[in-house]
């Protein structure tokens, strides 16, 4: 039995002009921060299908364009009882046109600040998940 749990996620850096779509993440491993929409890939699920499903589930956004594969953000976190969580996050740069305004989710991980289009210039590293900040850096936005 391994002491490391692997989690493969697909994430979207959805950009509209000078704003990025972010969710207020309240669950482990980085609670209470701004994160990218996305999540765990299902077994046998193609990457871009998983991305579309996760973005839809977390934001209600169904129409967006995947422009390019942006980066891999890999991290290790304590996972309780001496175990570790190994996250491998595949992040895609995406665009929307027009900007969806009807944002909604029933996902438990969305916190009280909800889902918002945030100005890139307002984002600070201390307020973002490590993977969100890695995506912003890879995109040359911060």
Residue-wise pLDDT for 48-83, tens only, equals 999 999 999 999 999 999 999 999 999 999 988 889
From 19, 56, 49, select the one nearest 34 (Cα to Cα): 19
- Neighbour tally for 123: CB within 10 Å: 18
What's this model's pTM, rounded to 2 decimal places?
0.93
pLDDT tens for 89-105 read 999 999 998 998 889 88
- Neighbour tally for 48: CB within 10 Å: 12
Classify residue 138 as left (phi > 0), alpha (psi -120 to 50) or beta. alpha
For 57, the token pair is 């589930």
């Amino acid at each position: 039995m391994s002491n490391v749990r692997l989690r493969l996620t697909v994430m979207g850096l959805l950009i509209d002009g000078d704003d990025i779509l972010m969710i207020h993440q309240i669950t482990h491993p980085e609670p209470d921060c701004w994160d990218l929409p996305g999540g765990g890939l299902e077994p046998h699920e193609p990457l871009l299908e998983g991305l579309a499903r996760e973005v839809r589930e977390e934001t209600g956004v169904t129409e967006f364009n995947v422009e390019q594969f942006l980066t891999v953000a890999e991290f290790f976190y304590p996972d309780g009882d001496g175990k570790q969580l190994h996250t491998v996050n595949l992040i895609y740069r995406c665009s929307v046109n027009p900007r969806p305004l009807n944002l909604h989710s029933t996902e438990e991980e969305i916190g009280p600040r909800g889902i918002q289009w945030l100005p890139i210039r307002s984002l600070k590293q201390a307020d973002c998940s490590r993977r969100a900040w890695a995506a912003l850096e890879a995109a040359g936005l911060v």
